[in-house]
Amino acid sequence: MDPPAVVIDAGTYEVRAGLAGDDAPRYRAPNCTARPKQQLQVLVADEIYTIKNHAQLEFSRPLERGVLVHAGAQRDVFERCFSKVQCTPRDSRIVVTECAVNPPSARKACDEILFEDFGFLGRMRLPSAVCAAAKSKEILEDRERHLATQHGGKPAEKRLPYNHDCVLICDMGHSASTATPVLSGGAHDYAVRRSDVGGQLVTGYLRDLISYRQMEVFDETATIDKLKRDLCYVAQDFDSELAKCDGTTKEHGTASDVYAEFVLPDYHTIDAGYARLDTRHPAYNPEERRRRTRPDTSPQFLRVESERFCGPELHFSPQDIGLKQCGLTELVADSILKCPHAMRPNLSAQVMLVGGGARCPGLRERLQRELRPLMLEPYDVEVVAPREPELT
């Protein structure tokens, strides 16, 4: 009996590995290699966690916007994955994912790694959007069953019967955001739309804002990335949220609902930064009068107010930093409208958010509200975000 096929989902930020038939990945790690400054030692994938301060590392990522650009680093990461899932490449077959509209040169480089370096018996290549669409069918069907049992167990009013094999996958990736229409297990390449705004750009913009306003953190990308994940959100009305902010440079005074603080790690008593004074925290008491902490208080911390939503706003307004590209709403709408008329009602009613960036609070609601007016016909518009979008 042949051993089960190895499954590798290599994203720009993270790589996931397992065996065919598994319910969840057996191995998850950053898809990168790193080298401590002024050293020759190379850390691969999860080995970077042995270094507490990631500012001391120089990273090399094998993928850029989902396209393979550093074959040597990808080979090292794959070797680490195969050892962790305990497979023998020369006796196995492999399933690998790729981005939509992957160039032939990148496919050839990947095949050279799999066949020449590891000697796999066979390879199956699938677009990552197609894999997400297969999982989204289960999510959409569960959601329909939930809607049908609302109102005290009585069946709710039924919507139009949509085809769950026809969905639009919006991948909020590390270095790009991609909208891919999928029908019956096939991606429609002619309607794929991609934006250069991803989690990496948002983190970099947030890092620049904090560096110019408060403290120089240009080397603390990992710390700012955690701040983004813990505190940032998408504003439903950017102007009204901005009006709530009374300035991040005030020394004293009552803090607004937007104001929060992020305690920085010192790598002695605090290994990882954490948020405090966050109104979204379960322990937050709305009756309590919140005041700004004095800047000379220990441990060292960052004040964040408008930065919490100015960073994620780049997804909808990349023109704010001079990037001549459309926002996420226009990206999704253009992808839908490039498809045949028969597909559009299904696609607009079944937009699935995947990728690590889809975890940002408020993203789904903002996209659904702004997408509705851009449809040429009165289609139903529904944006769905699973509980673990990075694993979908």
Instruction: Flag the least confident range among 27-31, 100-104, 254-258, 291-295.
Output: 291-295
For the stretch 107-155, pLDDT in tens is 999 999 999 999 999 999 999 988 888 877 677 666 666 656 655 555 4
For the stretch 167-192, pLDDT in tens is 999 999 999 999 999 988 888 899 99
Output the average pLDDT for the chain.
Answer: 85
Asked if residues 205 and 314 have their Cβ atoms less than 8 Å apart, the reply is yes
For the stretch 221-266, pLDDT in tens is 899 999 999 999 999 999 888 888 865 445 555 667 788 889 998 8
How sure is the predictor about 287, in pLDDT bands with cuts at 50, 70 and 90?
very low
The separation between CA 334 and the C-alpha centre of its own chain, rounded to angstroms, equals 21
Asked if residues 163 and 345 have their Cβ atoms less than 8 Å apart, the reply is no
Instruction: Report d(CA 182, CA 198) in Å as an integer.
Output: 21
Helix, strand or coil, per DSSP, at residue 79: helix
User: Which pLDDT value is given to residue 30?
Assistant: 93
**Other CB atoms within 10 Å distance of the CB of residue 357:** 27
User: Which pLDDT value is given to residue 148?
Assistant: 60
**Selected residue with higher pLDDT from 290 and 140:** 140
Asked if residues 49 and 65 have their Cβ atoms less than 8 Å apart, the reply is no
**Nearest by Cα to 15 from 89, 71, 81, 102:** 81
User: Which pLDDT value is given to residue 185?
Assistant: 82
Pairing of strands 93-98, 63-64: unpaired
Residue 297 has pLDDT above 70, yes or no: no
Average pLDDT over residues 55-75: 91
User: Which pLDDT value is given to residue 335?
Assistant: 94
User: What H or E segment, with its residue span, contains residue 227?
Assistant: helix 221-231
Asked if residues 73 and 61 have their Cβ atoms less than 8 Å apart, the reply is yes
Burial of 285 (0-12, 13-18, 19+ CB in 10 A): exposed
User: Which pLDDT value is given to residue 269?
Assistant: 85
Residue 156 has pLDDT above 60, yes or no: no
How sure is the predictor about 282, in pLDDT bands with cuts at 50, 70 and 90?
low
Instruction: Report d(CA 133, CA 97) in Å as an integer.
Output: 13
Q: What percent of the chain has pLDDT over 90?
A: 49
How sure is the predictor about 15, in pLDDT bands with cuts at 50, 70 and 90?
very high
SS (H, E, C) 303-339: EECCHHHHCHHHHCCHHHHCCCCCCHHHHHHHHHHCC
Asked if residues 125 and 109 have their Cβ atoms less than 8 Å apart, the reply is no
Residue 157 has pLDDT above 60, yes or no: no
Residue 310 has pLDDT above 80, yes or no: yes
> pTM above 0.85?
yes
Q: What percent of the chain has pLDDT over 70?
A: 85
Asked if residues 111 and 120 have their Cβ atoms less than 8 Å apart, the reply is no
